[in-house]
Structure 1
Amino acid sequence: MEMMETIAKLGLTEPQIAFNGGLIFQEVAHEMKILRENSINLVSIQRILTELVNDFPDISPSLYDLNSWYIEKMDKGIKYEADLGGQTPKLVEFVSLLKQTEIKIYKIMLISFNLQEMKQLVEKLEELKLPDISIKQSSENYLEITSNHAQKARGIKYIQELEQLTKDDMAAFGDGYNDLSMLEMVGTPIVMDNALTGVKDYGKYITKDNDSDGVAYGIQKFLME
């Protein structure tokens, strides 16, 4: 949903990777063709949401399917994300939503502006020991949960094989822990200046931060010169 505007503006026709590799799709005749997908087990989603309600009432949770962003309440975290991404969430009851057995949820996003709470949240989710999910912090305030088969490295591998590319043919930009597997897959890993602690260790180059057009700068500075 967030990517389609950019895809249209740039006229992109090649396969695209979304949800940390949980969805690979391609626009064909103005329609989205799914090439590969790994959604989250609905039972695991229900277990996670139950734990959040009990122990983390101030967390801002969101669910994402192919075309929609679902929330249960409009709070500070949701308003922040809506302003940042320019998307409008759908207000629903998660329990009712997840009773729709045909629904496919590709990502759970959890937002907290309390760093200590975020640390406790990560620890709590890891204690659940759900084998079918992947838990990755994408920024200080954002925690993303996807299928354990949804890894950015898998998406990169798909593109690499499709286009018959070598590792040295590829570059990637990243700033969060969910980007590490992707950065290791390419010959030119470029890390944003706003990256989480330790992520810069995986970069061949460091570019400007997200608020300073770091990707555009990195393309011009490190890929075109």
Structure 2
Amino acid sequence: MIKHIFSDMDGTLLNSQGVISKTNTDIIKASKIPLTLVSARAPMEMAAVIDCLQLSTPQIGFNGGLIFQRQATSWHVLQESTIELATAAHIYQLVQQKFPNVSRSFYDRDRWYAPRIDAGIQYEHQLTDQIPTMTASTEFFADATHQVFKLMLITFDPEEMTALQSCLTDLNLAGISIQQAGAAYLEITSDQAKKSRGIDYILAHDHLVKADTAAFGDGYNDLPMLKRVGYPIVMANAQPDIQQAGRVITKTNDEDGVGYGIQHWLSQGGQ
């Protein structure tokens, strides 16, 4: 019997417009199975779905870099892992110099920062409805009290993405994780920010074992999560190599694949 569900958001629980459908919402609420969102998103970008589903369980943001619970006007932090500020500044400035056309932005726990409004920022705004705080990066990184949970780099040029990822990987910087999310996003977090680490926290917190859990995902950053649960379910819109990590393949995110999976497999005890 499945006692806890974990779900990625973009490309999984949310449709192509970045919205959770009424069908998914209704099925999740009716299932009565506790749900934890496991996302690369910041808490503020998860808030609308948390509120829609009335989730009171711990949630996982920044690919596992932040484990938190929703409170009335704030977030109760249970565990956090940030990028060393000097490392974040080094990466940011290097990208600015070598890849000036790449969209650059970064997050602390409560805000999204960007130096300019470009195509990447506009694209992210359309998905999350968030508005970045305009900031001079040199001033931000000079303040030792600041935290950086995620650097987000966006390019719609596949060749530029390959070069960018190769450049950053070749730096061999300690303490960071570099993951491509979808075709256009490259996200840098703490190397402690893993979706599986967030799941381990929930399992210990709720006294669960692997067999009690299921997860939905569609991306490469979901693989640690899918391998950590007892019943991994992969979206039909995922790449073929990611689908191999699933016990079953559900429908696409535009066909309410999460709701379909809950109804057809998890509500029946994951048989």
Residue 172 of structure 1, CA deviation: 1.1
Say yes or no: does 1:208 pair with 2:248.
Answer: no
The amino acid of 2:50's aligned partner reads I
Counterpart secondary structure, 1:136? strand
- 1:50 maps to which residue? 93
Please give the root-mean-square deviation of Cα atoms over the aligned residues, in Å.
Answer: 1.5
Gaps of 5+ in 2: 1-43
Residue 32 of structure 1, CA deviation: 1.4
Decide whether aligned partners of structure 1 residues 91 and 211 sit closer, same or farther in structure 2, where only a CA change above 3 A counts.
Answer: farther
- 1:111 maps to which residue? 154
Runs of 4+ aligned structure 1 residues displaced above 3 Å come to 28-31
Say which structure, 1 or 2, has more relative contact order (CA 8 Å, 6+ apart).
2
The amino acid of 1:129's aligned partner reads N
Decide whether aligned partners of structure 1 residues 33 and 62 sit closer, same or farther in structure 2, where only a CA change above 3 A counts.
Answer: same
* Counterpart pick for 1:166 among 195, 198, 209: 209
Decide whether aligned partners of structure 1 residues 4 and 123 sit closer, same or farther in structure 2, where only a CA change above 3 A counts.
Answer: same
- 2:30 maps to which residue? none
Cα deviations by residue, 1:77-136 (Å, 9 ceiling, x for unpaired)? 111110011111111111111122111111111111111211111111111101110011
CA contact (8 A) 1:24 1:36 kept: yes
- 2:49 maps to which residue? 6
Decide whether aligned partners of structure 1 residues 197 and 47 sit closer, same or farther in structure 2, where only a CA change above 3 A counts.
Answer: farther
Residue 18 of structure 1, CA deviation: 0.6
- 2:68 maps to which residue? 25
Residue 166 of structure 1, CA deviation: 1.4
State the identity %.
46
Gaps of 5+ in 1: none
Q: TM-score, normalised by structure 1?
A: 0.94
What is the distance in 1 between the residues matched to 2:131 and 2:72? 25
The amino acid of 1:46's aligned partner reads A
**How many residues are paired up?**
225
The amino acid of 2:69's aligned partner reads Q
- 2:232 maps to which residue? 189
Counterpart secondary structure, 1:202? coil
What is the distance in 2 between the residues matched to 1:103 and 1:55? 25
- 2:176 maps to which residue? 133
- 1:147 maps to which residue? 190
Counterpart secondary structure, 1:88? coil
The amino acid of 1:176's aligned partner reads G
The amino acid of 1:2's aligned partner reads E
More displaced stretch, 114-123 vs 21-30: 21-30
The amino acid of 1:62's aligned partner reads S
Decide whether aligned partners of structure 1 residues 78 and 212 sit closer, same or farther in structure 2, where only a CA change above 3 A counts.
Answer: farther
Say yes or no: does 1:15 pair with 2:58.
Answer: yes
